[in-house]
Amino acid sequence: MSGMELQVRHLRVLVAIARAGSLNRAAGQLRLAQPALSHQLRRIEQLVGDKLFDRGPRGVRPTRIGQLVLARAAAIIPAFDELDRDFRGQQLAQGDVRIGWNDSALASDVFHSVRHLVPGAELTTRSDLSNSRLVTQVAGGCVDLALAMICGPRSLSAPDGVRVERVATEPSFVAMPSTHPLAAAPVVDLAELAQERWIVSSCGDGCRIVFREMCLAHGFAPRIAHDVDTLRFNLVRGGHGVCLVQPTTPEMPGMAIRPLAGDPMTVQHLLVWRADHPFAERFDAVRRAGVEAYDRLAAENDRYRRWLDNGVA
C-alpha cells in the first residue's frame, strides 16, 4: 500500500458501487461525475492492491477480493456511524469533557490534570490512532480535547480556530528480546537492525512513511513482519521481532529497550483544542501540567534519564 491508507470514506464508495451495480448509477447517487468515480475506484484498488469489481456491459460485480472488502465494510461502517452518533448526538451536561487520544504515555496524566483543572466534569475518552481524525473531531466539536502523537519534525495540520500545542518531543528507542545480541549494547545503531523482523503499528497519517524513510536513510528497507496496534511488547518478548517504543516505556521481563544512535526519529506529543472552547484557558493549564508530567516520567525512568544527561543509557 502507498502512504495513503484505506479509509471509511473509501469503503462507503465501494458499498455505493456494489449496491448500485453500475458506476453510472453509483455516481448519480454520490453526486459525482462518472469519470471522477472511476478515478476514485482505481485509487482504492491501488490501495488494496487488487481488482475489486469486474466491469461488464450489464454493470459491475464484486470480485472475490471485492466481496471480502465489502464484508468488512458492512461491519466497519456501522461502527463508525455509531461513533459519530455518540459524539454528535449525545447531549452532554455542562462541564463534561470528552478527550480523544492515541498511544501517548502522557494519557493518564492528561486525564488526571483535566479532572483536577475541570472539577466536577464527567470525563469520557475514546482512542483513535489517526491524528487527522482527532483534529477533525476537535474542530467539529465531537471531542473537547485531543492528545496526539506525530512522527518526525513535521507539523500537525489544523484548521483556523484549532490550537495545536506541543507538550514534549522525544527520541524513539528500540525494544528487542532480552536474548538479542544487541541487548547488551548501551546504544544501538539503526543500521545494525537491517536484517530484523519489524513489529510496526498500523497507524496512518504518515508515520509509516517516516519510519521507512528513516530506515532507508540508514541503508535498508525495513522488513515489516507484524502489522499490529496492540500486543507489540508480547511479540517482542516472544522473540518475533523488534519495534520502536517511547523512551519512557518501562522494561519488562524478556525485553530490552535501548536508545538509537543519533536519535534518527523523534515523536511529538501534542494537545489539540478549539481556541473558542469554554475551557480553553484550563486546557492551556493542562498542557503546562503535561509538560511537568513528562519531565517526571523521564526522571523516573533511569535509562531515559541517563540518556538525557549523558547521551548513553
User: Maximum CA pair distance of the chain?
Assistant: 70
Residue type, 191: A
- pTM for the complete prediction? 0.69
Provide long-range contacts, Cβ within 8 A and 24+ apart, for 303-312.
303/247, 303/251, 303/257, 303/259, 304/173, 304/247, 304/248, 307/171, 307/247, 307/259, 312/186, 312/187, 312/259
The second-level CATH assignment, the architecture, of 93-169+267-310 is: 3-Layer(aba) Sandwich (3.40)
Note the pLDDT tens digit of each residue in 180-214. 999 999 999 999 999 999 998 766 567 888 899 99
- Helix 34-48 vs helix 8-20: angle between axes, to the nearest 10 degrees? 120
Note the pLDDT tens digit of each residue in 71-110. 888 888 887 776 665 555 444 445 689 999 988 999 999 9
pLDDT of residue 313: 52
Distance CA 227, CA 154 (A): 24
Are 93-169+267-310 and 170-266 the same fold in CATH?
yes
Distance CA 81, CA 23 (A): 24
The tens-digit pLDDT sequence of the chain (313 residues) is 444 477 888 999 999 999 999 998 998 888 888 888 998 899 898 888 889 999 888 889 999 999 999 988 888 888 777 666 555 544 444 568 999 998 899 999 999 999 999 888 889 998 888 888 899 999 988 899 999 999 888 888 899 999 999 999 999 999 999 999 999 999 999 999 999 999 987 665 678 888 999 999 999 999 999 988 777 899 999 999 999 999 999 999 999 999 999 999 999 999 999 999 999 999 999 999 999 999 999 999 999 999 998 765 5
Q: Given 3-state DSSP classes, what are the helix, strand and coil percentages for the chain, each rounded to the nearest 5?
A: 45, 25, 35
pLDDT of residue 192: 97
- Let me know if 64 is exposed, middle or buried by CB neighbors in 10 A (0-12, 13-18, 19+): exposed
Provide the CATH topology of domain 8-87: Arc Repressor Mutant, subunit A (1.10.10)
On whether the CB atoms of residues 89 and 81 are closer than 8 A, the answer is: no
Q: In the numeric block, which cell numbers belong to residue 47?
A: 490501495
- Helix 280-300 vs helix 107-117: angle between axes, to the nearest 10 degrees? 140
Strand-pair partners of 257: 175
On whether the CB atoms of residues 208 and 200 are closer than 8 A, the answer is: yes
Q: In the numeric block, which cell numbers belong to residue 115?
A: 479532572
Residue whose C-alpha is closest to residue 313's, from 180, 182, 192, 177: 182
pLDDT of residue 93: 43
Class of domain 170-266: alpha beta
SS (H, E, C) 71-96: HHHHHHHHHHHHHHHHHHHCCCCCCC
Q: In the numeric block, which cell numbers belong to residue 260?
A: 538509537
Domain boundaries, the chain: 8-87, 93-169+267-310, 170-266
208 Cβ neighbours under 8 A, 6+ residues apart:
3, 200
pLDDT of residue 155: 87
Query: In the sheet that 243-245 helps form, which strands lie side by side, from edge to edge?
Result: 243-245, 173-177, 255-259
pLDDT of residue 90: 46
